[in-house]
Structure 1
Amino acid sequence: MDGIEFRIRKTLTGRGGRFPFRAAGRFAHGRVSGFAGPSGSGKTTLLRTLAGLEKPDAGEISFGGETWFSSGNRRSVPAWKRSAGLVFQDYALFPHLSVLGNARFGAVDREAAEEALELVGLADLRSRRPRELSGGQRQRAALARALAARPRVLLLDEPFSALDEELRARLADELGNLLARIGITAVLVSHLRSDLERLCSSVATAAEAERLFDEAPPARESRSSIPLRIVEAKSLYVG
């Protein structure tokens, strides 16, 4: 099965004003791929467009041969139909809901939510509110909520950035083992080399994705997405 393929263009606004974000590439099916770049390089924008929370100005996105977005064909599959789970950088947990309540939000059913909590080791804390959790536990609760929807794709937006180095390393190792066990297609964006090394089998940079966008021929002449040049995580220096 094909992985995630994309070729997108979107105008963003930063501290220096408006600027174009352009990216093209492919993330492999059933593997954890990394997307690296400094703050403001469009990493979060890429994840949000893949998830369907934002629309590109132009381009195409597909997964497993299914078109999720095509400006040329005026097609845009809504987020809830893409089966893509997104773990936000700030976790975005609902403070008034319990751990189980958060997991059930968007879950296939209660059983799926319970299974997700078991998977991340929070079954015994299902009744607690987010304010009663440690930073690592909140990160796991956010992961459980994403997994409870039983997504085909898991998108991770700097999931360890709020944690100290020791806890970040431990949770990254745990997450890596979990993702390997369930075999889900996942994309991790980060500016930290350590996170990318621990979790990703391959890493692409925002600069490389932009170069490929500029080099890619128009969609009417060939496939709109081309593979990113893979950079081994151990040789990647970012941040």
Structure 2
Amino acid sequence: MSCLIRVVDLYVRYRWRQEPILKGVNAEFNNKHLLLGPNGSGKTTLFRAIAGLTPILKGKVLIDGRDVNEIYGTKGLLALNLSEVLSLLRMSAYDNLRLFMDLTDGDMDLAIEILNDLGIETQILRKRKPWELSAGQRKAYSTALALASKARNVLLDEPFEQLDPARKSRLIKYLTRYDGTIVLNTHETWILAALKEWTTYLMFEGAIYGPVHASKLMNANIISGEVGNAVHPRVILYCL
């Protein structure tokens, strides 16, 4: 069920900044991938560009060989957990969820199961609007929407934010059994041990490095400068 996402020589710059946020990014995603890097490194901007939510200065994003601008909005192709997916309709979180599942041919039962496992009871969904949920609940809510949509490609932006260890473990269960491509960005390095079979890209200051197997990074050290056995010549992570 996997689908190929190709990012080719991608540059993105916001109007209020002189320097590009993304600088010549090249990557391919067609299975289960981690995008690991510190906050502010450009991970979320890359997701927004892949989803067609941010204008591209140079380069292109291809999904199944087609430019993302040509297939924007295609049902079942791409889902993500950014705040843009939260409906502004004045309906309860439950009704918004049901509408989203109807529009995407998603699995309402799975969405409720994920949300319950992440600590959001159904009665809370019925009583509150999406924007009335706490920050952690909104992140869990949008993550459940993305996974339950059954899209061929899912982009998850920091999905473990504000989850306790037990709920992180439950979310990992859904990630590992998902039948499609997942690209998950995070700054949390513990995820390398939990998802050690996933392919990983590293992101620093708008540039991307890799891919490298997550299990290889589990034994990585950080030094200043460059070494011959580095994951990438310009990255200061090297593997023992």
The alignment's TM-score, normalised by the length of structure 2, stands at 0.69
Greater percentage in helix: 1
2:211 is matched with which residue?
Answer: 229
* % identity of equivalent residues: 24
Cα distance in structure 2, aligned partners of 1:43 and 1:80: 23
Highest RCO, 1 vs 2 (Cα 8 Å, sep ≥ 6)? 1
**Matching residue's letter, 2:178:** I
2:28 is matched with which residue?
Answer: 26
CA pair 143-26 structure 1, distance change in 2 beyond 3 A: same
Cα distance in structure 2, aligned partners of 1:108 and 1:85: 14
Check if 1:173 corresponds to 2:173. Answer: no
**Matching residue's letter, 1:115:** D
Cα distance in structure 1, aligned partners of 2:177 and 2:29: 19
1:142-153 alignment to 2 at 5 Å? Answer: 142-153=142-153
The alignment's TM-score, normalised by the length of structure 1, stands at 0.69
CA pair 15-197 structure 1, distance change in 2 beyond 3 A: farther
**Matching residue's letter, 1:181:** R
1:159 is matched with which residue?
Answer: 159
8 Å CA contact retained: 2:158, 2:186: yes
Instruction: Measure how far apart 1:25 and its partner are.
Output: 1.3
Check if 1:203 corresponds to 2:185. Answer: no
Instruction: Measure how far apart 1:90 and its partner are.
Output: 9.3
8 Å CA contact retained: 1:7, 1:61: yes
Match of 1:184 among 180, 186, 207: 180
**Matching residue's letter, 2:112:** E
8 Å CA contact retained: 1:172, 1:195: no
Cα distance in structure 1, aligned partners of 2:150 and 2:25: 27
* 1:193-224, Cα deviation, whole Å (9 max, x unpaired): 12454346122112498367xxxxxxxxxxxx
Q: Secondary structure at the match of 2:55?
A: coil
Instruction: Measure how far apart 1:237 and its partner are.
Output: 7.0
1:220 is matched with which residue?
Answer: none
Q: Which runs of no fewer than 5 residues in structure 2 stay unpaired? A: 223-240
1:85 is matched with which residue?
Answer: 79
CA pair 183-113 structure 1, distance change in 2 beyond 3 A: closer
**Matching residue's letter, 2:80:** L
2:36 is matched with which residue?
Answer: 36
* 1:163-209, Cα deviation, whole Å (9 max, x unpaired): 1xxx3433322121112223221111112212454346122112498
1:215 is matched with which residue?
Answer: none
1:56-67 alignment to 2 at 5 Å? Answer: 56-63=56-63, 65-67=64-66
Instruction: Measure how far apart 1:52 and its partner are.
Output: 1.7
Q: Secondary structure at the match of 1:182?
A: coil
Cα distance in structure 2, aligned partners of 1:210 and 1:153: 22
Q: Which runs of no fewer than 5 residues in structure 1 stay unpaired? A: 70-74, 213-227
Q: Secondary structure at the match of 1:230?
A: strand
Cα distance in structure 1, aligned partners of 2:211 and 2:150: 30
Instruction: Measure how far apart 1:87 and its partner are.
Output: 0.6
- Matched residues, number: 211
Q: Quick check: 4-13 or 185-194, which moved more?
A: 4-13
RMSD of aligned Cα (Å): 3.6
Q: Secondary structure at the match of 2:140?
A: helix
